Amino acid sequence: MKKQCVLVAGGAGYIGSHTTVELIAAGYDVVIADNLSNSEMRAVEGVRKITGIEVPFVQVDCCDREAFRKVFEQYDFDSAIHFAASKAVGESVEKPMLYYRNNLTSLMNLIDLMHEFGRHNIVFSSSCTVYGEPDKQPVTEQTPRKPATSPYGNTKQMSEDILRDSMKAFAGMKGIALRYFNPIGAHPSALIGELPRGVPQNLVPYVTQTAAGIRECLSVFGDDYPTPDGSCIRDYIDVTDLAKAHVAAIGRMVDGKSKSEYEVFNIGTGRGVSVLELVKGFERVNGVKLNYRIAPRRAGDIIAIWADPTLANTELGWKAERPLDETLASAWKWQQSLK
């Protein structure tokens, strides 16, 4: 039987590269399209090494519709995953137009081309950022979205709406938005992982760079929040577990199991972990001492958020499995491989 093919737009990036590995492990063919604006070919090489397959890669800007069209002319995929977006919250406040243009145009081009070429299934990378500061924990898919606090967050809300409305209009097409919580860690092989550019904005890359001596000291942003130890709480999800959620979402659509043309799933562990718990866990698991200090709160931070992943568990048949300790060990192994 001919293998199903999946287009992974943004597949040279952190989550896209891990997802490509899991798609191939599940028996799909993959073609990666990426403009390398926030990634490097080494991720594609890493994917090829892990899978033993010369995964096709096309360097293309998904915002350039005519160039993107050629990928559709050349490859016969029926499903696509859209990772191709800019993701730095702070930068989005300074350069809103870059975020609106890149994140929305690349998605709209993908949807339009899928429609034009008669291709059917789309998975979209959404984010728990759409919930803002929730009134109740854990958050379910029914938890209301709050007004976005950054242009980046706004692009995720707008993208969800664009996908919902277009799937409704384009008969036969299906879309799934996955709302990721906080993806961390790296592939067990340490051949792929997160490659932050410049000073990391996210917690775990800052932790691993501090442990490696690249950063002098980790700032823990606030210890006076109304949480058990005073630091913020998040739902940290292993990147391979997250990657597998995409395989499940594609499978659901390919197998005709979707309950409507547009669906949304929370992809988290269901477990809230504080910044201080994460820092101490990292030290314990890896046997390293982290230089950290308590710093003032970071503007715009959510106090606490974690997922209710029941819907993904029951409908997608997917569950986060990797223990946090293993994920923290993989993050350190990856950091050390970068020397």
221 binds ligand WQD (CB under 6 A): yes
CA–CA dist 286, 332 (Å, integer): 7
Indicate the DSSP class of residue 5.
Answer: E
Query: One-letter amino acid identity for 160?
Result: E
Provide the minimum distance between the beta carbon of 89 and ligand WQD in the complex, in angstroms, as a whole number. Answer: 4
β-pairing verdict for 182-184 and 79-82: unpaired
Provide the minimum distance between the beta carbon of 232 and ligand WQD in the complex, in angstroms, as a whole number. Answer: 3
Q: By C-beta, is 61 or 263 nearer to ligand NAD? A: 61
Show the tokens assigned to 90: 């702070």
- Residue by residue, DSSP assigns 170-183 as STT-EEEEEEE-EE
Q: Which does 177 bind (CB under 5 to 8 A by kind): ligand WQD, ligand NAD, none?
A: none
Query: One-letter amino acid identity for 122?
Result: I
String marking each residue 109-128 x if it binds ligand NAD according to CB under 6 A: ----------------x-x-
Taking each helix axis as running N to C, give the angle between helix 324-337 and helix 203-211, from 0 to 180 degrees, rounded to the nearest 10: 60
284 binds ligand WQD (CB under 6 A): no
Query: Please, what sign has the CA dihedral across residues 311, 143, 121, 124?
Result: negative
57 binds ligand WQD (CB under 6 A): no
Provide the minimum distance between the beta carbon of 61 and ligand NAD in the complex, in angstroms, as a whole number. Answer: 5
Show the tokens assigned to 304: 């606490």
Show the tokens assigned to 126: 């959404």
Provide the minimum distance between the beta carbon of 90 and ligand WQD in the complex, in angstroms, as a whole number. Answer: 9
Provide the minimum distance between the beta carbon of 1 and ligand NAD in the complex, in angstroms, as a whole number. Answer: 31
Query: One-letter amino acid identity for 142?
Result: Q
Q: By C-beta, is 182 or 286 nearer to ligand NAD? A: 182
149 binds ligand WQD (CB under 6 A): no
Please count the CA atoms within 13 angstroms of the CA of 189 that sit on its side-chain side.
Answer: 14
String marking each residue 58-97 x if it binds ligand NAD according to CB under 6 A: ---xxx-------------------xxxxx----------
Q: By C-beta, is 77 or 83 nearer to ligand WQD? A: 83
Contact of 230 with 275, CB cutoff 8 Å? no
Query: Please, what sign has the CA dihedral across residues 108, 126, 141, 79?
Result: positive
Q: Which does 209 bind (CB under 5 to 8 A by kind): ligand WQD, ligand NAD, none?
A: none
Q: Which of 49, 298, 314, 323 binds ligand WQD (CB under 6 A)?
A: 298
Q: Which of 28, 99, 131, 152 is catalytic?
A: 152
102 binds ligand WQD (CB under 6 A): no
What CA–CA distances, in Å, run from 322 to 178, 181, 191, 310, 335? 19, 15, 18, 17, 19
Bond into 134 cis (ω within 30): no
Closest to 10 in 3D by CA, of 86, 74, 122: 86
String marking each residue 239-278 x if it binds ligand WQD according to CB under 6 A: ------------------------------------x---
Q: By C-beta, is 44 or 218 nearer to ligand WQD? A: 218
Instruction: Work out the number of other CB atoms within 10 angstroms of the CB of residue 73.
Output: 9
Known catalytic residue at 152: yes
Tell me the window of 160-168, 180-188, 249-257, 277-285 that interacts with ligand NAD (CB under 6 A).
180-188
Show the tokens assigned to 87: 């993701």
- Would you please indicate which residues are annotated as catalytic (active-site) residues? 152
Residue ranges that bind ligand NAD, judged by CB under 6 A: 10, 12-16, 34-39, 61-63, 83-87, 102, 106, 125, 127, 180, 182-183
Residue ranges that bind ligand WQD, judged by CB under 6 A: 87, 89, 127, 129, 182, 201-203, 206, 218-221, 232, 234, 275, 298, 301
